[in-house]
Amino acid sequence: MELQPDDHKGYMSYALSLAEQSPPKPTNFRVGAVLVDTTKNEVLATGYTLELEGNTHAEQCCFIKLTRKHGVDEERLSEVLPQHMALYTTMEPCSNRLSGNLPCVQRILRLRGLIQTVYVGVMEPEKFVSENTGRIALQDAGITFVHVPGLEDSILKVATAGHA
């Protein structure tokens, strides 16, 4: 997929197409994520909810794929990734995981200084976690948090497929 730099809606549409590949399940939101090297306008990794084994989130899948590609633990990804990245995710990254997995916000914070901006399509609905503090945590760490408007209805329809 060839997207122009700063085509935020295009990248969010790409993330949404990934979310559509996630299996509908009543206990998960279907989310898609795209990690971009903003200097080269190159997609480094993509992911969607439950793409990889375990109860994996979209952002988590991006990072797992990069650990496999570079042969490093997730804690050392900052040593092998480019200096200027943006993360596009259809839904606000989670700040709390009911499954016990590391929240996506904490995974992103490991890469602070490299991920300058997180672009989101919608804020996380309060279905599973009553108050997601992801946006605040990212902003407090100096990561710009940007809502990309225009796809909210489509994102929520995909995200909640399989919910009662």
Task: Please count the other Cβ atoms lying within 10 Å of the Cβ belonging to residue 73.
Answer: 9
With beta carbons less than 8 A apart as the criterion, state whether 60 and 51 touch: no
Considering the candidates 2, 42, 51, 59, report the single residue annotated as catalytic: 59
Please give the Cα distance from 65 to 161 (Å, whole number): 25
59 classed as catalytic: yes
What kind and span of H or E run contains 38? none
Name the E strands within the chain. Answer: 32-37, 42-48, 85-91, 115-122, 144-147
Half-sphere exposure of 74 toward its Cβ, with a 13 Å CA cutoff?
14
* Catalytic residue ranges: 59
